Chain A
Amino acid sequence: MCLAVPGKILSIEGSDPLFRSGRVSFGGIIKNINLAYVPEAKVDDYVLVHVGFAISIIDEAEAMQVFEYLRQMGELAELEEGGTQ
């Protein structure tokens, strides 16, 4: 029920903040999404969408932290050294 899917904003329309909406691509599937709750979102941003509403803008820098965390523990170095096995 709390499923939310990341999608990329292709275009934005509407001047009334409550009815602001955008065309959002989910891996090629495009839906019209309400953007009232992400007033600062712009075209090319990725947003997290739940039941037709964007509820968060995905922070691209923070998106790497799941790998950074491993790197800080020294675990990821081994993976990188391990090459393509």
Chain B
Amino acid sequence: MKFIDEYRDERTAQLYSRALSRIVTRPWTIMEVCGGQTHSIVKFGIDELLPSAVTLVHGPGCPVCVTPLELIEKAIELASMQNVIFCSFGDMLRVPGESKDLLSVKAAGGDVRILYSPLDALKIATENPEREVVFFAVGFETTAPANAMAVYQAKRQGIRNFSILVSHVLVPPAMEAILSFPDTKVQGFLAAGHVCAVMGYVEYEPIADKYKVPIVVTGFEPLDILQGIYMCVRQLEEGRAKVENQYSRSVRKEGNLPARKIISEIFRVVPRKWRGVGEIPQSGLGLQEAYAEFDAELRFGVAGRTIDEPAECISGLILQGLKKPHECSAFGTRCTPEHPLGATMVSSEGACAAYYHYRRRNN
């Protein structure tokens, strides 16, 4: 496919690998923020093409992985209600709650449906006026325009039996949180290309300045990631800490302005709890007052409940880049994609699942 295949060319990848070896003089640790990039890196073995001085650590950019237990429990509660059609992206269904997951609610007869787009939930609501349709609105900034549009259209079309359970998170506050940890190892970032396609990258400039870290907006194909790493290492070697854009075919500095306009119409910035990390101020999106009628937590009275995270899973340390998946004693034994202890083993973008699928032979 055009715009995919050419960025997987092995010989060009080797050239980037060699170019990188030429400029590296000392060890560097770089975090790729997005789980999609983690998946590519592990799948294509990009980390194995790097000089040994360059270490990649995997970041928290997997919305499925960071959705806190209490929201999973709220989803399970709503999905179990008689009159509710609960709609979600597929990878949320296996995330373990306290005692079960959404898939087991579905198996027990709950009306849980896997959708491709939030607009499909709106269609289901129109077709089932006597039922309540709840969409599990998870995601980073990339997904916010789609979820915002569903709410915007619901209001405009007067679709009253539609609501969303919001679990939206924002990337820049998480990057700041990681840089603020006293034992952080991260010296540079590959920023998430598709998040920046929506939001642009102006908001990363104060982070690069304040923490003196280079941030390179990076795409998802092997050559994108190799070039992003090269640009980041080059800055580190030259003692620079700027925001650069590797992914210029899809990312503009200001992002997507019509999408940003709808996001700010529908959502406001709120504090949010990240699974395995804890609460990060101003790190999520919630519905604006004017759209509160579409908030499933308010509609069904499940707001305000909190649940502590289970202790046995080290996903928090993995999401902060402090541990690698195979350093967990449960990895691949008591914790597998079929029987996950934590969310990083569930999503295909979770670091544990990526290592499980592509790296078991190495461990």
Tell me whether B3 and A58 are in contact (CB under 8 A).
yes
Binary per-residue interface labels of chain B (336-360) against chain A in the complex, 1 for a CB within 8 Å, 0 otherwise? 0000000000010100000000000
Chain A residues whose C-beta falls within 8 Å of the C-beta of B210 in the assembled complex: none
Binary per-residue interface labels of chain B (9-28) against chain A in the complex, 1 for a CB within 8 Å, 0 otherwise? 00110011011000000000
Tell me whether B15 and A1 are in contact (CB under 8 A).
no
Count residues of chain B with CB under 8 A from any CB of chain A: 57
Tell me whether A34 and B119 are in contact (CB under 8 A).
yes
A81 touches B (CB below 8 Å) = no
Which residue on chain B has the smallest CB distance to residue A37? Answer: B259
Chain A residues whose C-beta falls within 8 Å of the C-beta of B204 in the assembled complex: none
Tell me whether B1 and A6 are in contact (CB under 8 A).
yes
Count residues of chain A with CB under 8 A from any CB of chain B: 39
Binary per-residue interface labels of chain B (33-55) against chain A in the complex, 1 for a CB within 8 Å, 0 otherwise? 01110000000000000000000
B227 touches A (CB below 8 Å) = yes
Binary per-residue interface labels of chain A (1-43) against chain B in the complex, 1 for a CB within 8 Å, 0 otherwise? 1111110100000000010000000110000001011110000
Enumerate chain A interface residues (CB-CB to B < 8 A).
1-6, 8, 18, 26-27, 34, 36-39, 46, 48, 50-53, 55-56, 58-60, 62-63, 65-67, 69-70, 73, 75-76, 78-79, 82
Enumerate chain B interface residues (CB-CB to A < 8 A).
1-4, 7, 11-12, 15-16, 18-19, 34-36, 61-64, 89, 91, 116-120, 138-140, 142-143, 145-146, 149, 152-153, 156, 192, 194-195, 197-198, 220, 223-224, 227, 246, 248-252, 256, 258-259, 262, 347, 349
